[in-house]
Structure formats: structure tokens, C-alpha cells
Chains A and B, each alone.
Chain A
């Protein structure tokens, strides 16, 4: 059992950074974050008090052995890699990155794929210009802790005009409940580049009952002018893991970012997926599904902040709640003054499968500009009786009819996952969670 890290602060952050031989700038940066971590309060997500969540067990640095070939990865990790993996791949195991693969062809084009720890040394300028500038370390305690302790991590740089054909894949895996597991994914997509990125966060804590692990993670995407980034994430960790995932994208002129997220984690979940539409003509599209089971507590927020003119956002969240799971689904469309001709749309839908499950959908529109379009739709309900009747009237049993409808409810997101192998895996996870 990890002991709560009550004394964590400036000194502890700097000492850890030094022990890992991090560059001087990062030691100072971590030191500052450590100080903030000791001072700041936890975030206050809408209608979801975090006071009873285990958020103070940071674990210790437990790097894993690096391997030189994907074939040498531990079996538990290899099983999670879809077979059709042709593209670039990076694997984090507990506190460190253990494997990276990037084709010579992409390297020759100037593409960079490394652990973020390595990038802090080798690509200092790019990292310093972007790291935690979208998700700031002084936002709240969890952000500061993440800044002070992030480890392993992914840095992807796609140069100007480069189009990466196959999705880049990151597998973030933990099986040690005592490890610090706080990956940070940083993607810089330069002007007119294109990339699909697929992240899978998985954890199997073999130690059984009572083990807890804090996955305090972050994703930052910087899409420069005209860049297209598609980011797909599937999270499925053991119930003992608390999943905190802050995802931010900053879009320049005419950039486009798509989020496709399967929050299928088995423990408490706090995710916040936010697109900052800084540039004129920028566009973001977020599709998120979630399945809550057992006594899970889930806070899911999607946001779009419109600053650029003629910027567009669309956000869709679909959640299925079983057993005694509780979810608060927030959609926040913010249109700033001056963002003329902006168009922000959002839909949140919750399907309740049990009388003890709870689901709240809160669409929030904050608009400081007149010349805009904005829309929202939200619904919370049970499986539609007429739909069940229709399917049964063709000979399909009630159980199978309900199964088709529930899986169908999630399909508009599942079918968008850009890797066929991962899509299949997602179906298996859904079968398991939905029973």
C-alpha cells in the first residue's frame, strides 16, 4: 500500500528530477510545480466532489526495462497491441518509456517520436515553448502535481507539410500499484501537417483488492495553421486506478482537431477534453463515449473555446450507466467576444440501464458575441421501448434487441476509431463492460 504523499512539495519535486538526471531547466520547472502542488486546491468539477477520491498517492519512480524490439515486450503489453500495427509505436510501462519505433522514412522527413523525458533534453526549445502552456501547471493541485511528477510520456513533432499515413500509436501501461504513472503526451503538428494518433491507457494491478494507483495524465496538442490532428484514446484500467486525464488542443488558423475518446475505465474518472479554437477558420470535433459500471464516479467534460473568427466546434458525448455508476456529463461551448461567425454545437446523451445508476447531462453555452450560431441537445433516458418492440417484431429476443440498441448507441464513436485492431479491442471491452 502506498502511503499518502503528504509532504510533497518544492524540495521533493526537485530532488526527484535531479535523481533522474533531468536538464537544469526542467529541474527548476519541476521545483516551481512542486511548490504549487503544496499550495493549490483540487479542481472543482461540476456536481462531483472529489474529496473522497484517492488523489494523494503519487507512488514512486519505478522505471521498467527498455527493449529494442516489439517482440521483447512483456506478454501483458504485447496482448494489448493490435495486430495490424504498421505505424509508429511508443510504449510506456509504469514510470518510463520502454520502446519506441519510428520508420527511417519518417525520421528522414523530420518526424520526431520519443519519450517526453528524452525530448526535454534533445528538443528543449520545442518542449519549453509548448509543455503545459495549454494545460497550465497553476490551474489546480492536480495540474501542479502532474507538472512536478509527469514521467515517460510522448513527444511527437510532425514537420510542416508532412502527412503521416498510418496512425501513430501510444500504449501507456501500468501493472505496479506503487509506481508513479503520470504520462504526458505532447503533440506539435506544424503548418499543414496531418497525423492520426491513437492512445491506449491500460492498467492491470495484479496485487488484487485494496490497491490504488493514480493515473494523473495530460495530453496537449498544438495544431499549427492548416494542420489536421486526429486523436483517438481508449482508457480501460482496473477499478483500483483513478483516471485523471486533462486533454487540451490549441488550434491556429484553419487547423482541425478531432477527439475520439472511449472513456471505458473501471474506476473513478475525471476527464476534461478541451479545444481552444484560437485561429480563424479552425475547427474541432469531439466524440466521446463512456460506460459506467459498479460504483464508478465519473466526471466528463468537453469544452470548446471559440476565439478565432468563423471557428467551428461539434461535441458529442454518449454515456451508458449501469449498476450504481454515477456520471456528470458537462458540455461547455464558450464563444468569446470577436469570434464572429463562430458555430458551436453540442449533444450529450445518457442511457440508463439500472434504477440505481445516475446520469446528469449539463449543456452550458457561454456566448459573448452576437454574430454566431450555437446549439445544444441533451437527453437522459432508458432503452427506448418502441425500438425494442420493433426489433422483437422481427424475431429478435428482448435481450439481443437491448444489446443491439446499447451497442448501437455507442457505435457513432466506436466506428470512428482509426485502427481496425483497436476497434475490435474496443468491441471486446464494451462486451465485457456491458455484460
Chain B
């Protein structure tokens, strides 16, 4: 079944301040959507609110994944339904190895009585780590503990590859990556492109989109999507910056007004 992900009129607040002011977006399986925009316009809030971070309160709107109401679900249910967020700042967890963590995550999806065998799991993990050119020792390291910024990002992509989600959100996956690491991460994402899977790529920079080619590009300002287009929009933003968008729309301050 091809994936259909839809956001309608999504509004969200943090500590009572409205950050998302009505987002509408539809992603079909096989599509890559990019959300671009300067700092402080609500991009990461959108990612976190979709995943259900307790800090954000959704005040209005609907989100559905293949017809199922995402906002009704607990965070773990969203993940099991097929949502995946590669986080900008993944948590470090002492004492829980990468392998134990991923096995728990895979088994949570497969359900009791249908757990993945240890051998099969290790082969799978080793194979994916090789694709991402990760040192095999990261399998037994504590989750993200002492990882460099780039290693954490690769580890997020590793999780995506192992969990095979239906809708992938990449939040600033390019920050902290050098060009070689960026190419490896992009190759990992591209290998996952399929008709069953949609992507929402959040980024500051056009650079990432040279390697992960989007089908649609959206510009976010003031907690809304203010402009949408094809890949050419990203190129123009890279060449000319955001000022022309602001001028065109009569926006003076693009950040979310935190009155």
C-alpha cells in the first residue's frame, strides 16, 4: 500500500506561545518534500510536534497516516504506525547499547512471539552499518554516548534503515556533517526511497538537497508554509537567500512572533 500522510491546519504551542500557526501539507509515498527556512520559523517545532514531544501542545488541526489519526496516538504508537523522526539532538543514554536499543525497537514493532532472531538481527545491523561506513564497535557502544555530532547523525540514519518507516522526517540531518559524511548519509536516504515511503526533509541549507533531490520545496516563515514549489525554488533560495520571498510576501520579521 502506498503511503499517504496528511497534515491539515496544524497549530501547536510551547508554554502557551503559538509556534505553528496552521500547517497544511500532503505527502504521498515515493515523494520527498523539503522544508526550508531561516532559524526560528517553526521548522523543528513541526518535526517535534508530529512525533509527539511532550513539550509541544497541539491546539488545532489533524494529522493522518494512511487514514489513521496520528495525533490520537502515544509517541510509541506513532513510531509503530510508521512515523520516524531523525532528531537534530538525539539523546545520549548510558548503559543501553546501540544493539540492545535497536533490537528492542525492532521487536516492539514485530510484537511478542515474533521477535527477530539474534543472528538475523546482528547480520542486518552489521550490513547497514557497513553501508553507512560506521565502525562496527558502535554496535556495542552506549547509545549516542560520546558520539561526535556526525556520528550521532549517522546513527539516526542507521535507525531509519533498520526500522523501515513509512514516513521519515529528517530534522537538520546535515548540521554537523562534513561533506563526505553528508554524501554517505544522503546515499543511505536515497537507498530508502520507495513508493511505500514518504520523506519530509527539514534543512537550512540547499547543500543537502544537492544530494537528496526533493520533489517539492516549501518555505516556512512565521509558523506557516508561505511558499511552495519544485526543486528550482531551493536553487533560487541558495542563490539569492530569503529576502526576495519576504519582499514578495511583505514579511518584515520572518521569525515566529513570541508575544
Contacts from A to B (Cβ < 8 Å): 384-387, 389-398, 400-401, 404-405, 407-412
Contacts and interface: CB of A to CB of B under 8 A. Distances in A.
Interface string B54-95: 100000000000000000001110111000110100110111
A393 B85 contact: yes
Contact of B76 (A385, A386, A398, A409): A398
Interface stretch (B102-110, B122-130, B245-253): B102-110
Interface string B13-55: 0000000000000000000000000000000000000011110
Contact of B80 (A395, A404, A409, A411): A395
Contacts of A385: 54
B95 A410 contact: yes
A423 to B, nearest CB: 14
Given A386-B91, A389-B53, A408-B93, A398 B74 contact: yes
A350 to B, nearest CB: 14
A390 B93 contact: yes
A64 to B, nearest CB: 39
A390 B104 CA distance: 13
Contacts of B203: none
A408 B74 CA distance: 23
Nearest to B109: A395
Given A385-B54, A400-B108, A404-B101, A395 B95 contact: no
Contacts of A408: 93-96, 142
Given A389-B53, A404-B100, A395 B91 contact: no
Nearest to B76: A392
B163 interface: yes
A395 B94 CA distance: 19
Contacts, number: 81
Most chain A CB neighbours (cut-off 10 Å) among B84, B95, B100, B105? B95
A273 B94 CA distance: 24
B159 interface: yes
B91 A390 contact: yes
A404 B84 CA distance: 20
B7 to A, nearest CB: 18
A397 B75 CA distance: 9
A394 B96 contact: no
A384 B74 contact: no
A395 B93 CA distance: 16
Contacts of A389: 53-54, 75, 91
Contact of A395 (B54, B87, B142, B163): B163
Contacts of B51: 393
Given A386-B91, A390-B90, A404-B104, A395 B79 contact: yes
A417 to B, nearest CB: 14
B76 A395 contact: yes
Most chain B CB neighbours (cut-off 10 Å) among A387, A389, A400? A389
10 contacts: A390-B91, A393-B79, A393-B87, A394-B84, A394-B102, A396-B108, A397-B108, A404-B96, A405-B93, A407-B95
Contacts of A409: 94-95
Contacts of B108: 394-397, 400
Contacts of A386: 91
A411 B85 CA distance: 27
Nearest to B95: A408
B138 to A, nearest CB: 16
Contacts of A384: 91
A408 B90 CA distance: 17
A410 B105 CA distance: 21
Contacts of B96: 404-405, 407-408, 411
A401 B75 CA distance: 12
Contacts of B75: 389, 392-393
Contact of B74 (A392, A400, A404, A405): A392
B169 to A, nearest CB: 10
B93 A394 contact: no
Contacts of A405: 93, 95-96
Most chain B CB neighbours (cut-off 10 Å) among A384, A405, A408? A408
Given A404-B100, A408-B93, A396 B105 contact: yes
B143 to A, nearest CB: 8
A249 B255 CA distance: 61
A404 to B, nearest CB: 5
A397 B76 contact: yes
Contact of B104 (A393, A400, A410, A411): A400
A409 to B, nearest CB: 6
Nearest to B92: A387
Contacts of B80: 395
A393 B85 CA distance: 7
A255 B102 CA distance: 41
A395 B100 contact: no
Contacts of B95: 405, 407-412
B91 A396 contact: no
